[in-house]
Amino acid sequence: MKYSLALLSGANFFVFLHLYGICDIMQMAVYIFFLAGGDCMIELTKLNDVKFTVNCDIIEFIEETPDTVVTLTTGHKIIVKETRQEVTNLVKLYRMSLYGDIVRQIRED
């Protein structure tokens, strides 16, 4: 059975691991704290070529109008050079690298 861990975030990821017997909630919290090393930050580029990082956990939605507009849960909107799909892929890659390592560590223990 194959799961797309990149689509899970925050509490949903904890519930997934617990329900499928990978670990208990407390064990997962410890691994996240010690192995994750911080928030989900991805690098994007504004239209004036200035690079910046944004916490991908606060991205509410991404739209192409035709410019790519990233709307945050805070209400801020940021126009970026990356396409909607590129931003989505950056978030998925970051989460897979983070959660993939954690899942491997738990299975080894």
Average pLDDT of the chain is: 75
Residue linked to tokens 């390592």: 101
- What whole-number distance in Å separates Cα of residue 54 and Cα of residue 72? 9
Is pLDDT above 70 for 8? no
3-state secondary structure 5-57: HHHCCCHHHHHHHHHCCCCCHHHHHHHHHHHHCCCCEEEEEECCCCEEEEEHH
Residue linked to tokens 């504004």: 46
pLDDT digits (tens, 9 = 90+) for 17-59: 656 665 555 555 555 554 555 557 899 999 999 999 998 888 9
**Which tokens hold the place of 104?**
């491997």
